[in-house]
Structure 1
Amino acid sequence: MKKIVLFLMLSISLAAQRVEFVKLDQNIKDKRGLAKSLTLIDNRTDKTIGTIANKKETAEIKFEDENLEKHFGNWFLNDNKKTGNTDFIIMLEKIKIYDEQNENKDYPFAKLKLKISSFIKRNDRYYFIGRFDNVIVSNPKLTPHPQRFLASQISDIITEFIKLSYSNTTLGILVPENEINNYNAYLDKNYKAFNNPELKDGVYTDFKSFSNQEPNAEYSVKKNKKGRVTNLMHNGIDSSYSEMYCYVDGGKAYKLTPVGFDEMKKDNKGFYIYTSRVNLFTSAKTSGIMIGAILGGIPGALIGAAIESGANPPNGAIHGIGYRSSQESNVYIDSLTGAYVFTK
């Protein structure tokens, strides 16, 4: 009798587990016809994506075709019958799906951590284009099947990231082939804002100028009697906040958000602001992804919780994917793109 009960319990347990596949089959045609090839470098230290629970069901998330290097090559050729002269490299650095319980919550949230970057390769030299590095949150109380939602987000983000990489410019700084697996540390040597002992006061109109510590002399900020910034001035005339990436006053940097200016503090990981998605997101998309033609530090560029739209809203809000969580944490500023990088 005990054997029968044990068998039934095991059968129920197995029946409650299933696999949710990530399908990389959307169109990745290079409309400009510049791409010659698309090569994947899978640098994940752990190839398993993860398992999350949904009510009484546990689902493991896997790629439908786990031979990713071969799949990416075939995927590109299937959608690009006419090719150009440029070799594109996609580096997959991390994909993890997991359950994590936020503070002051009595149930876990399903989350996706995804980090992916892109390069152009020429004569054994790599040129950085951009990257997506973020955590996407799914609230199981609002999303009936979080495993499906997050699996679909992996497919959507990778697809759109590849298509954006075709059309965006590089930083113009080469990475030698023997440094490609250490590209971040190699490129961060040029990050003057982080490496210099002091920040230059002034207004920075994009992340690139902030990174290079080149404030725009045509802009200034106006303060009230309490010392709060009330206006952005361009050659003495009121201007839209959307023209400003951040400003530095007294050696401290401040970033505009929908709830006001937040100080950009610094630790050994980089610059960050302490905030939440609900404070930054102008809207949260439950499917798909907001796309703009911005990668690699173009003015106003933010590849944050989503890839932001080209025009920054005047209050510094960004479009986002997933649940607008109120969880506060250090939200980092990507050292190469100026993007918001959520960690929780």
Structure 2
Amino acid sequence: MKKIIQITFVFLSMISFAQNEEMIKERGNLSNPKGNIYKSLEVIDQRDDKKIGEMPFGDDQKVKEIIFPGTVNDFLSKWYTDSNHKGGKKELVLVLKTLKAKTGETSGKETEADVEFSAQTFLKEGDRYSFLYKRDTVYSFKSKNISDAVVKNIPIVFAMFVKKTYMKKPGENSVSLDALADYESYVKNNSEVYLNNDFKDGIYLDHQSFLRQIPLQGKYVFERNSKNEVTRAVKDENGKKDKISAHEMFVYIENGKIYKHTFSGFMEVLKNEKGFYLLSNRGYVLPASGSGVFIGVAPGAVGMHTGAAVGLISVFERSIQQRKLKKGELTEIYIDPLTGEYDFSNE
């Protein structure tokens, strides 16, 4: 009798525990539309806190913990395999650094919530890893059923990130597993441009050549407009001209000063102990965007659409710890050492 009572107690405890959890499920797929080159997806979970968050669910607003079925590696690895039946030859590794969900203010019938997400992906061959992509961002939701919206869209956040990874070419340098513990520091400690304060004059077409301080070969002459702004560079060798437009340049360096091409033209790039940055704001460096981003959760599809859309949940993607800037206010906009993209963390 005692054994039966113990078993019953354990069973009831399991039911009670499960009732206090809300499980993340696969939504859509992780298929690679350009052909699968990865035979598997492995997740290295570097989160300091493995708990995603707790939110109120249902009509009774019962607080439940949002969880994966098993580990995050179990969940994504299986989802990837289910989506890609033809095995490739290489391995895809996702390093998860942050996944946090929390509710915010309620206005009328709608409540806000944030999902903080940070991850990196690498191509693995043997015991070497080549960087592919990185994302550090916060997705902000607003819905009447905010908890359901968050749980349904967490897998969509992963799907968008993985599908973006498919479009990326691996970096030229591969590293050991140890470097993945803090890959950003590794890049800074092993890149010419971060190690030195004397920069090589010339034109750099991409972030990688800038990191390695390898400008375009040959003697290019800058052409400027009436405002003395660089419009293009021309190289004339052996009677043949090679023209590089301003839009093709990642940066150019002249007299040891770095200038980056932005939506508003070239701006000087400064350097401090944190890295390289522009003293500007989002409106100057990027073209105006729409009012938000809408993530579709239709069965069997993962879509990302701008503008108004019927039946979709609105979600505004913003940088971690973003704050609103006054019109014309300037801040330090850093250049991400891994991707070369703008980091708006200080806004």
TM-score class, shorter: 0.5 to 0.7
Q: Tell whether 2:7 aligns with 1:39.
A: no
Match of 2:194 in 1: 194
Change (3 A) 1:23 1:232: farther
Match of 1:95 in 2: 99
- Conserved in 2, the CA contact under 8 Å of 1:135 and 1:342? no
Match of 1:338 in 2: 340
- Conserved in 1, the CA contact under 8 Å of 2:193 and 2:199? yes
State the AA in 2 paired with 1:129. Answer: L
Change (3 A) 1:37 1:224: closer
Q: Tell whether 2:40 aligns with 1:62.
A: no
166-175 vs 113-122, which deviates more?
A: 166-175
Gaps of 5+ in 2: 1-19, 106-111, 297-303, 305-314
Question: Shift of the alpha carbon at 1:246?
Answer: 1.4
Change (3 A) 1:69 1:80: same
Question: Shift of the alpha carbon at 1:125?
Answer: 2.4
Question: Shift of the alpha carbon at 1:153?
Answer: 6.3
Looking at structure 1, the residues matched to 145 and 252 of structure 2 have their Cα atoms a distance apart, in angstroms, of 42
- Conserved in 2, the CA contact under 8 Å of 1:22 and 1:155? yes
Looking at structure 2, the residues matched to 332 and 182 of structure 1 have their Cα atoms a distance apart, in angstroms, of 18
Looking at structure 2, the residues matched to 336 and 100 of structure 1 have their Cα atoms a distance apart, in angstroms, of 31
- Conserved in 1, the CA contact under 8 Å of 2:55 and 2:66? no
State the identity %: 27
Aligned positions of 1:317-332 closer than 5 A: 322=317, 327=325, 328-332=330-334
Looking at structure 1, the residues matched to 316 and 246 of structure 2 have their Cα atoms a distance apart, in angstroms, of 24
Match of 2:293 in 1: 286
Question: Shift of the alpha carbon at 1:166?
Answer: 3.7
Looking at structure 2, the residues matched to 329 and 111 of structure 1 have their Cα atoms a distance apart, in angstroms, of 24
Q: Tell whether 2:205 aligns with 1:205.
A: yes
Match of 1:12 in 2: none
| Structure index of larger Rg | 2
Aligned positions of 1:207-246 closer than 5 A: 207-216=207-216, 217=218, 219-223=220-224, 228-235=228-235, 240-246=245-251
TM-score (norm 2): 0.67
TM-score (norm 1): 0.67
84-93 vs 123-132, which deviates more?
A: 123-132
1:288-344 CA distance string (max 9 Å, x none): 49xxxxxxxxxxxxxxxx9xxxxxxxxxxxxx9647975253222111221112214
Aligned residues: 285
Question: Shift of the alpha carbon at 1:68?
Answer: 0.9
- RMSD, aligned CA: 3.9
Match of 1:314 in 2: none
Question: Shift of the alpha carbon at 1:222?
Answer: 3.0
State the AA in 2 paired with 1:221. Answer: F
Change (3 A) 1:330 1:147: farther
State the secondary structure of the residue aligned to 1:235: strand
Looking at structure 2, the residues matched to 96 and 35 of structure 1 have their Cα atoms a distance apart, in angstroms, of 28
Question: Shift of the alpha carbon at 1:115?
Answer: 1.8
Looking at structure 2, the residues matched to 321 and 191 of structure 1 have their Cα atoms a distance apart, in angstroms, of 34
Change (3 A) 1:34 1:225: closer
Choose the corresponding residue for 1:251, options 238, 253, 256.
256
State the secondary structure of the residue aligned to 1:287: strand
- Conserved in 2, the CA contact under 8 Å of 1:111 and 1:135? yes
Match of 1:269 in 2: 274
92-101 vs 161-170, which deviates more?
A: 92-101
Looking at structure 1, the residues matched to 332 and 53 of structure 2 have their Cα atoms a distance apart, in angstroms, of 24
Change (3 A) 1:45 1:33: same
Change (3 A) 1:146 1:244: farther
Gaps of 5+ in 1: 1-17, 102-108, 290-305, 307-319
Aligned positions of 1:28-177 closer than 5 A: 28-31=30-33, 32-49=35-52, 62-63=66-67, 65=69, 67-97=71-101, 112-135=115-138, 154-177=154-177
- Conserved in 2, the CA contact under 8 Å of 1:59 and 1:147? no
1:194-214 CA distance string (max 9 Å, x none): 112211222221112211112
- Conserved in 1, the CA contact under 8 Å of 2:138 and 2:318? no
- Conserved in 2, the CA contact under 8 Å of 1:200 and 1:215? yes
